């Protein structure tokens, strides 16, 4: 049983996705419970996988019994275990919080939303579990195609945003596939571990340089790294609330994980000029995304641009590729997933309660203190105030930037926090001190509040235990991605 832990989370979400529409024919209410249950089971399996890695060390799983490098391998190690827990855990929270909203938004079609959301989660978990370049492409597209449908599901301007997302997402995946084709032409292998062993001898080949560049550009589109973020703001602004609870929190993280895995441990990217370029692109993303977020009048568009800014932090960490910079980037995946999930769930709850997304019309006053407090905690994490998780991830990133002797990147990280203070104050200030207090606001449903409280408590609590978290899991994960690149 423990030997099957690498494949278990994605099997559970996949089976859940298949079963949900069938169960919905008989019992529509039970279908949403089943979907949330499948995601929760996947989260537990991912947690079990991570615990198993810590006790028994990494596992390689031969899908269908065909061993690598010929068959498709799944890999469970500290990094994939950790990101798997983040994706499945925050995904479960988003599905739970979105269940009530899905019934409101979609009516009888709510089980379709749940099935699509589970397919998307399967794709993300597959990206994280896979140890094979072509397999990553397939899972990227499984996640992406269901995301296009999810973004389009609200109709109206969401349709246009979804089409744009579909075209840009496909171009990104195609760049990735072309890069994989070049690496395959060079080595005849698609297995990550096998490639990592073969590529150092071929370091001078132009095919390697070209393939690496194409893969990085393709995955940068998928993770919405500035200036390749064009699909993201419209998609996150116009998608229905239950969708914005899920996609912004986990979607871009899976692509960032793939970039970390392939650039650092397969291509040995820590030494490539490409890595420094990635770090500086991340720095520009942090600043430009922050400035754009601070200028927005629509709460969801503000959060979307803040995602562009926060993904920049992860790119800085991956580009620097030092141990503490990488630990910071991986911790930031967790911190940002929790905080952005909470913020989108909170704003989504306000919209479902009858508020308009314009910041000037979002005002709630102190009437729902729990909702408001959770938004403030998430906002503090985005800014990087201790003891929230966001403080610690930025701290490790700063340490990495200082160790690499890059004052420009240090400046970008600090400036990004300052900009986050501006745009997060605009959002939480609008919620707490807004003017439209006279309008009635429906109470936030209990499951949504419960999820928000859990996310806020996790943001603070995991911040307090971030020391052991980094020492036990993230430093080994960082060492793993740098050490595989060779001495």
Residue 177 near another protein by CB under 8 A: yes
- Distance in angstroms (rounded) separating the CA atoms of residues 480 and 447: 39
Residue position matching structure tokens 């001898």 = 201
Give the range of 195-203, 356-364, 407-415, 425-433 binding another protein by CB under 8 A. 356-364
Please select the residue that binds another protein; options are 185, 418, 442, 465, rule is CB under 8 A: 185
Residue 240 near another protein by CB under 8 A: yes
Beta carbon of residue 368, minimum distance to another protein (angstroms, whole number): 17
Beta carbon of residue 169, minimum distance to another protein (angstroms, whole number): 8
**What is the Cα gyration radius of the chain?**
21
Angle (nearest 5°) at CA 146 between 143 and 149: 150
Give the range of 107-115, 296-304, 395-403, 405-413 binding another protein by CB under 8 A. 296-304
- Which is closer to another protein, CB of 113 or CB of 330? 113
Please select the residue that binds another protein; options are 62, 213, 358, 422, rule is CB under 8 A: 358
- Which is closer to another protein, CB of 312 or CB of 357? 357
Please select the residue that binds another protein; options are 170, 205, 209, 436, rule is CB under 8 A: 170
If one counts every other C-beta atom within 10 angstroms of the C-beta of residue 52, the result is 18
Give the range of 55-63, 233-241, 273-281, 416-424 binding another protein by CB under 8 A. 233-241
Residue 207 near another protein by CB under 8 A: no
- Which is closer to another protein, CB of 51 or CB of 442? 442
- Which is closer to another protein, CB of 298 or CB of 399? 298
- The distance of Cα 10 from the centroid of its chain, to the nearest Å, equals 16
- Distance in angstroms (rounded) separating the CA atoms of residues 212 and 275: 10
Considering only residues 129 through 168, tell me which ones interact with another protein, judged by CB under 8 A.
134, 137-138, 141, 144-145, 148-149, 152, 154-157, 159-160, 162-163, 166-167
Residue 106 near another protein by CB under 8 A: no
- The SS3 call for residue 318 is helix
- Which is closer to another protein, CB of 347 or CB of 475? 347
- Phi then psi for residue 405, to 5 deg, are 65, 45
- Distance in angstroms (rounded) separating the CA atoms of residues 256 and 249: 12
- Distance in angstroms (rounded) separating the CA atoms of residues 3 and 278: 36
Residue 184 near another protein by CB under 8 A: yes
Contacts of residue 465, defined as CB under 8 A and 6 or more positions apart, other chains included, come to none
Bridge partners (DSSP) listed for residue 62: 73
Q: Helix 28-56 crosses helix 8-26 at what angle (to 10 degrees)?
A: 170
- Which is closer to another protein, CB of 145 or CB of 321? 145
Give the range of 205-213, 235-243, 271-279, 477-485 binding another protein by CB under 8 A. 235-243
Beta carbon of residue 150, minimum distance to another protein (angstroms, whole number): 11
Quickly list H helices, 107-229: 110-129, 133-152, 157-187, 192-198, 206-222
Residue 306 near another protein by CB under 8 A: no
- Distance in angstroms (rounded) separating the CA atoms of residues 272 and 437: 55
- Which is closer to another protein, CB of 241 or CB of 281? 241
Residue position matching structure tokens 């690598």 = 68
- Which is closer to another protein, CB of 32 or CB of 146? 146
- Which is closer to another protein, CB of 235 or CB of 326? 235
Residue 105 near another protein by CB under 8 A: yes
In 3D space, the residue among 185, 210, 179, 213 whose CA is nearest the CA of residue 198 turns out to be: 185
Residue position matching structure tokens 């790294």 = 225
The size of the interface with another protein (CB under 8 A), counted in residues, is 46
In 3D space, the residue among 91, 240, 55 whose CA is nearest the CA of residue 151 turns out to be: 240
Beta carbon of residue 379, minimum distance to another protein (angstroms, whole number): 21
Give the range of 295-303, 326-334, 418-426, 427-435 binding another protein by CB under 8 A. 295-303
If one counts every other C-beta atom within 10 angstroms of the C-beta of residue 107, the result is 9
Please select the residue that binds another protein; options are 357, 363, 384, 390, rule is CB under 8 A: 357
Residue 297 near another protein by CB under 8 A: yes
- Which is closer to another protein, CB of 173 or CB of 331? 173
- The distance of Cα 375 from the centroid of its chain, to the nearest Å, equals 19
If one counts every other C-beta atom within 10 angstroms of the C-beta of residue 14, the result is 21
- Distance in angstroms (rounded) separating the CA atoms of residues 355 and 368: 14
Beta carbon of residue 437, minimum distance to another protein (angstroms, whole number): 20
In 3D space, the residue among 135, 115, 134 whose CA is nearest the CA of residue 126 turns out to be: 135
Question: Which positions lie near another protein, rule CB under 8 A?
Answer: 101, 104-105, 134, 137-138, 141, 144-145, 148-149, 152, 154-157, 159-160, 162-163, 166-167, 170-171, 173-174, 177-178, 181, 184-185, 188, 190, 237-238, 240-241, 297-298, 301, 348, 351-352, 356-358
């Amino acid at each position: 049983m423990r030997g099957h832990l690498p494949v278990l989370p994605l099997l559970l979400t996949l089976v859940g996705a298949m079963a949900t529409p069938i169960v919905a024919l008989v019992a529509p209410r039970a279908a949403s419970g089943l979907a949330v249950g499948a995601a929760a089971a996947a989260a537990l399996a991912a947690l079990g996988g991570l615990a198993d890695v810590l006790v028994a060390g990494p596992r390689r799983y031969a899908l269908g019994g065909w061993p690598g490098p010929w068959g498709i391998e799944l890999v469970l190690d500290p990094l994939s275990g950790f990101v798997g827990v983040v994706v499945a855990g925050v995904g479960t929270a988003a599905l739970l919080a979105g269940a009530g909203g899905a019934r409101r938004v979609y009516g009888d079609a709510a089980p379709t939303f749940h099935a699509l959301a589970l397919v998307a989660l399967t794709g993300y978990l597959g990206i994280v579990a896979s140890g094979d370049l072509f397999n990553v492409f397939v899972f990227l597209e499984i996640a992406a195609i269901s995301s296009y449908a999810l973004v389009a599901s609200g109709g109206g301007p969401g349709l246009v945003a979804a089409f744009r997302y579909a075209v840009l997402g496909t171009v990104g995946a195609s760049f990735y596939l072309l890069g994989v084709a070049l690496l395959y032409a060079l080595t005849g292998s698609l297995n990550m571990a096998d490639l990592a062993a073969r590529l150092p001898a071929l370091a001078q080949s132009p095919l390697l340089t070209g393939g690496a560049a194409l893969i990085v550009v393709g995955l940068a589109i998928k993770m919405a790294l500035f200036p390749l973020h064009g699909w993201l703001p419209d998609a996150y602004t116009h998608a229905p609330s239950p969708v914005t609870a899920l996609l912004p929190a986990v979607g871009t993280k899976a692509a960032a994980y793939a970039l970390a895995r392939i650039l650092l441990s397969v291509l040995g990217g820590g030494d490539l000029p490409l890595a420094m370029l990635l770090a500086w692109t991340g720095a520009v993303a942090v600043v430009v995304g922050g400035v754009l977020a601070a200028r927005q009048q629509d709460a969801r568009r503000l959060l979307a641009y803040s995602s562009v800014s926060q993904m920049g932090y992860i790119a800085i960490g991956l580009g620097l590729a030092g141990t503490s910079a990488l630990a910071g980037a991986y911790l930031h995946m967790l911190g940002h997933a929790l905080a952005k999930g909470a913020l989108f769930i909170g704003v989504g709850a306000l919209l479902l309660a009858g508020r308009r997304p314009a910041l000037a019309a979002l005002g709630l006053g102190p009437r729902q203190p729990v909702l408001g407090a959770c938004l403030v905690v998430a906002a503090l994490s985005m800014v990087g105030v201790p003891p929230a998780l966001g403080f610690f991830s930025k701290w490790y990133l700063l340490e990495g930037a200082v160790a690499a002797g890059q004052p420009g990147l240090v400046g970008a990280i600090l400036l990004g926090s300052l900009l986050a203070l501006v745009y997060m104050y605009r959002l939480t200030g609008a919620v707490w001190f807004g003017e439209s207090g006279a309008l009635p606001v429906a109470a936030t449903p209990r499951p949504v509040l419960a999820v928000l409280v859990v996310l806020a408590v996790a943001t603070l609590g995991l911040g307090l235990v971030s020391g052991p978290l980094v020492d036990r899991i993230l430093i080994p994960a960082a060492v793993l991605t740098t050490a595989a690149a060779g001495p």
